[in-house]
Amino acid sequence: MLLASAVVVWEWLNEHGRWRPYSPAVCHHIEAVIRSEPRGGSVVLGQVDSRLSPYIIDVHSMHQFRQDTGTLRPVRRSFYDPSSAPGQGWLWEWENDAGSWIAYDTEVGIAIQAARDRQQPWLDLAPLGFCYLIDFESMTQINGQTQRCRRIQRRSDLAYPLVSGPLPKSHHAWGPASIPGQPCACQQCMLVLSLKAGTMPTAHTLGRRPPQTKPPSPKLNSYPIPGSSYSLTLPRPPSLSSRSLSPHRTSGFGATVSSSGAAACAAPLPPRSSLAGLSRPALQRIAMAQSRALIASGVPTVPVKNLNGSSPVHPALAGITGILMSAAGLPVCLTRPPKLVLHPPPVSKSDIKPVPGLGHCCRKTTKKQARKGKTPEEVVKRYLQKVRNPPEEDCTICMEALAGPSGYKGPGVGGISRAESVGRLAQCGHQYHLQCLVAMYNNGNKDGSLQCPTCKTIYGVKTGNQPPGKMEYHVIPHSLPGHPDCKTIRIIYNIPPGIQGPEHPNPGKPFTARGFPRHCYLPDSEKGRKVLRLLLVAWDRRLIFSVGTSSTTGESDTVIWNEVHHKTEFGSNLTGHGYPDPGHLDNVLEELRAQGITEEECLPRD
């Protein structure tokens, strides 16, 4: 048995396939919960960070669960040397366009700190998979392709939790006389169990493939550790004996239920050593195995949800059920979710076909042309009916009485006679000060349309402020999950960065366009083609995208989605933006209807 010390960093997998670290405080909280509940369960992240209140970590399945959406993301428990940046409490960050500081991935931060400790003038991040150069003298990050510079900083924070414990050197760690069944909760047994046979394959981080190891033998798993004279040779977990309370059985949802008795542990302890001599792949193998330390072979589990989609139970319901059972003291294991599949298999040009009923496969938009002729007052009056005796109600725009003057005092509105001071929208009947409606129109796109601020009824043809770009669409010979009987419509949006126009939040200022081209998917069914035709109308009216602040990254002055949801995952639904989703097409039709685009406008175009 080998004693070792390391700092633990808990990380989650984002939609780009990168492992992002939780903060040191959150990692301390997770470790504390694990120590207080040796059998595992759920970790509520909102208890330590209010910004993470929707999130819960299911320790058994090693997934982060979002309670309000049911979204599941893999998490992992990684080990690093105590002398590295996480162990010393150093956090490296870069500044985004909004002026916010974003932490680097753990491995990148470690590499930057190590280079600084060696007093290097600069560090090339290309070996880690990033086209950036770190200049320590100017404390900037330089893009190797665009030469764009961003500020970086090193911030002192709480050090990540330090753990120490035995690492098994051979199969004798189990002891020949050990009693089969559930082991005790001592640190030694927990770590031995974490390195049991059948662990997950090593995760590939930052695009680098770890060295290949020999396949395990039928009875023993051997993990060679580079730079040392020994390997980790582990036996299979003890199987259930006749003393077991019940044999293994598989539930209808695909989860395994088992129970067993207690066990003893005893093993000699060799001299203490550190993890400094272990390579990163070896540390990853240990970390990925130890992340499942709390799933002992004899711990009873309750079947909740087969997350590969074969069960009708919704992921959110499954997660909530698991949380309730965990709170009642019942360990709950969620079965493994599907892998993230963003794109379909490669498709040759000859296999790409036009969408039936559409004689074209591309649509472009250009800069918005300024409307001439009618004044704002003339546009608003077109949709209003005069109100001679205003009711004793407040105008919901300025919150002043309709019988009195408008509360709007800003520019852009001329004098309005008393007889015309209040108007009723012809279709919905809601009443407002004419001066307030004109001010609201002047603050919008000024496209000749008006939208009731109370019920959202649209008068005229609503258009948006989507920047110029291109929309491509075609059929590929693959089926979406939940739509096995039809092919797939692939939509490709491409919008380049540019300069904001008068209809945008900050005219004259540059805007960014992240993540383009963006690939989206619809089933090639009758309803899917109807949705596509309506999306074409929305694209022509510049309603698919907008310029604003990203709710995901916090970046301002960037291209964002404009309240019409798209599916960007092809073969999975791990992020909530994929299939199967039986109500997606109907939801999109409702969202388009809210933008003033109805099914009457989806007639086939030449």
In a domain, 295, yes or no: no
* Alpha-carbon torsion (480, 483, 484, 489), positive or negative: negative
Domain boundary among 441, 459, 477: 459
Higher pLDDT, 557 or 203: 557
Q: Which amino acid is it at 550?
A: S
Of 136, 50, 154, 144, the residue nearest 92 (C-alpha):
154
* 425 shares a domain with 530: no
Looking at residue 320, its pLDDT comes to 61
In a domain, 535, yes or no: yes
* 592 shares a domain with 447: no
How many domains does one find in the chain? 3
Is residue 48 a contact partner of residue 25, using CB atoms and an 8 Å limit? Answer: yes
Q: In the 3-class helix/strand/coil scheme, how is 364-392 assigned residue by residue?
A: EECCCCCCCCCCHHHHHHHCEEECCCCCC
Domain boundary among 459, 481, 512: 459
Give the CATH number for residue 9.
3.30.720.50
Average pLDDT over residues 62-81: 84
* Alpha-carbon torsion (307, 312, 316, 318), positive or negative: negative
Cα separation of 43 and 28, whole Å?
11
Is residue 355 a contact partner of residue 532, using CB atoms and an 8 Å limit? Answer: yes
Q: How confident is the model at residue 532 (pLDDT cuts 50, 70, 90)?
A: very high
Higher pLDDT, 120 or 240: 120
**pLDDT higher than 80, residue 4:** no
Q: Which element (helix H / strand E) includes 134?
A: strand 132-135
Q: How confident is the model at residue 586 (pLDDT cuts 50, 70, 90)?
A: very high
Is residue 190 a contact partner of residue 38, using CB atoms and an 8 Å limit? Answer: yes
Contacts of 16 (CB under 8 A, 6+ apart): none
Give the CATH number for residue 525.
3.30.390.130
* 527 shares a domain with 426: no
**pLDDT higher than 90, residue 333:** no
**pLDDT higher than 50, residue 354:** yes
Q: How confident is the model at residue 95 (pLDDT cuts 50, 70, 90)?
A: very high
* 88 shares a domain with 119: yes
Beta bridge partners of 79: 8
* 117 shares a domain with 12: yes
Q: How far is CA 422 from the centre of its chain?
A: 47
Q: How confident is the model at residue 188 (pLDDT cuts 50, 70, 90)?
A: very low
* 446 shares a domain with 473: no
Cα dist from 306 to 98, 334, 384, whole Å: 41, 7, 56
State the CB neighbour count (10 A cutoff) for residue 271. Answer: 6
Looking at residue 367, its pLDDT comes to 62
Q: How far is CA 363 from the centre of its chain?
A: 29
Cα dist from 262 to 200, 244, 259, 266, 557, whole Å: 26, 10, 10, 14, 60
Taking CB atoms within 8 Å and a gap of at least 24, the contacts of 589-593 are: 589/530, 589/531, 589/534, 591/563, 591/564, 591/565, 592/531, 592/534, 592/535, 592/537, 592/538, 592/564
Cα dist from 420 to 307, 385, 427, whole Å: 61, 9, 18
Cα separation of 316 and 31, whole Å?
25
In a domain, 41, yes or no: yes
Is residue 497 a contact partner of residue 510, using CB atoms and an 8 Å limit? Answer: yes
* 566 shares a domain with 492: yes
The residue behind tokens 């050197």 is 169
* 441 shares a domain with 555: no
Looking at residue 181, its pLDDT comes to 36
Cα separation of 342 and 515, whole Å?
13
Nearest 5°: the CA angle 332, 337, 340 is: 150
Q: What are phi and psi of 63, to 5 degrees?
A: -135, 145
* 74 shares a domain with 42: yes
Tell me the DSSP string of 550-579: -TTT--SSEEEE-S------SS--SSSSSS
Beta bridge partners of 425: 384
In a domain, 564, yes or no: yes
Average pLDDT over residues 141-151: 89
* 517 shares a domain with 404: no
Mean of all residue pLDDT scores within the chain: 74
In a domain, 243, yes or no: no
Is residue 95 a contact partner of residue 152, using CB atoms and an 8 Å limit? Answer: yes
In a domain, 178, yes or no: no
Looking at residue 517, its pLDDT comes to 93
Q: How far is CA 595 from the centre of its chain?
A: 26
The residue behind tokens 């949802």 is 253
DSSP helix, strand, coil percent of the chain (3-state; round to 5): 20, 25, 55
Cα dist from 55 to 139, 314, 512, 555, whole Å: 34, 17, 30, 23
* Peptide bond between residue 496 and the one before it cis (omega within 30 degrees of 0): no
pTM score above 0.75: no
Cα separation of 569 and 566, whole Å?
9
Q: For 425-467, what is each residue's pLDDT tens digit?
A: 999 999 999 989 988 888 877 888 898 998 888 998 889 999 9
Q: How confident is the model at residue 603 (pLDDT cuts 50, 70, 90)?
A: low
* 105 shares a domain with 53: yes
- Of 96-100, 412-416, 505-509, least confident by mean pLDDT is 412-416
Q: Is 576 exposed, middle or buried (0-12, 13-18, 19+ CB in 10 A)?
A: middle
Give the range of the structural domain holding residue 386, as residue numbers without chain letter: 376-459
Nearest 5°: the CA angle 91, 93, 97 is: 160
In a domain, 474, yes or no: yes
* Alpha-carbon torsion (522, 524, 526, 532), positive or negative: positive
Domain boundary among 427, 459, 491: 459
* 158 shares a domain with 46: yes
Q: How confident is the model at residue 34 (pLDDT cuts 50, 70, 90)?
A: confident
Cα separation of 402 and 554, whole Å?
39
* Alpha-carbon torsion (552, 557, 558, 559), positive or negative: positive
Nearest 5°: the CA angle 253, 259, 260 is: 155
Give the CATH number for residue 431.
3.30.40.10
The residue behind tokens 């120590």 is 35
In a domain, 355, yes or no: no
- Helix residue spans in 233-306 (DSSP H): 280-290
